[in-house]
């Protein structure tokens, strides 16, 4: 599994580049880009994730459009999600909390598998850390006995107690992950709803 940091840094660089291009150049000249024929995402939100190892159209007809990624600025999120932190301080750096959304061909299913490691994540009701690794540790939601896969997180080595996550969610059969950091993880339900409302508005006619 890839490191979250590498993916987020890559997508951040692409996001900045797209913003500089003002939606021109290599981006589509159309007003929206299709994701599997179900979402028509306004071009100003679109980034291409092919180079990040995500599925592309060449991987099969059922994955068409999944190489499209979505970037939403932290300022836009904070306008809709109350108390959303637009930046997080890690070490001596301020890290913008932009949302990056990546589509997946299928969801990950949590299987207990004899793993008895279960540590509730402080400040995030119902979320449980399921292993002690620093890289890509699994997070489940719900109680330990009926846990479901929530996503995975990776610790920041620069500052203990801070981490970045990929939250798995679905919208009308489309599986996606989005980036969220420890500063905002307690608000994930509101971020889920924010994205569902965005996607509802972006449904193709």
Phi, psi of 50 (to 5 degrees): -55, -45
Q: Please say if the pLDDT value at position 178 is more than 90.
A: yes
Q: Please say if the pLDDT value at position 26 is more than 60.
A: no
pLDDT of 48-80, one tens digit each?
655 444 444 444 433 345 677 899 999 999 999
Q: State the pLDDT at residue 49.
A: 54
The Cα 149–Cα 136 span in angstroms is: 13
Percent of the chain with pLDDT strictly greater than 70: 72
Average pLDDT over residues 138-155: 85
CB-neighbour burial class of residue 165 (10 A; exposed 0-12, middle 13-18, buried 19+): buried
Count CA within 13 A, CB hemisphere, residue 97: 27
> Could you write out the three-class secondary structure of 95-111?
EECCEEEEEECCCCCCC
pLDDT of 97-114, one tens digit each?
999 999 888 888 887 665
């Amino acid at each position: 599994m890839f490191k979250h940091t590498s993916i987020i840094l890559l997508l951040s660089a692409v996001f900045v580049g797209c913003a500089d291009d003002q939606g021109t150049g290599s981006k589509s000249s159309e007003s929206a880009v299709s994701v599997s024929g179900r979402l028509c995402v306004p071009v100003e939100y679109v980034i291409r994730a092919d180079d990040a190892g995500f599925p592309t159209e060449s991987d099969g007809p059922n994955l068409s459009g999944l190489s499209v990624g979505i970037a939403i600025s932290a300022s836009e999120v904070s306008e809709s999600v109350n108390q959303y932190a637009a930046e997080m301080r890690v070490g001596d750096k301020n890290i913008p909390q932009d949302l990056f959304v990546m589509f997946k061909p299928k969801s990950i299913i949590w299987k207990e598998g004899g793993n008895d490691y279960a540590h509730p994540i402080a400040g995030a009701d119902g979320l449980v850390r399921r292993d002690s690794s620093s890289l890509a540790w699994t997070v489940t939601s719900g109680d330990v006995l009926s846990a479901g896969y929530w996503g995975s997180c990776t610790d920041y080595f620069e500052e203990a107690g801070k981490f970045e996550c990929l939250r798995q969610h679905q919208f009308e059969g489309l599986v996606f992950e989005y980036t969220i950091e420890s500063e905002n993880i307690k608000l994930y339900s509101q971020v889920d709803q924010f994205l569902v409302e965005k996607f509802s508005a972006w449904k193709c006619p």
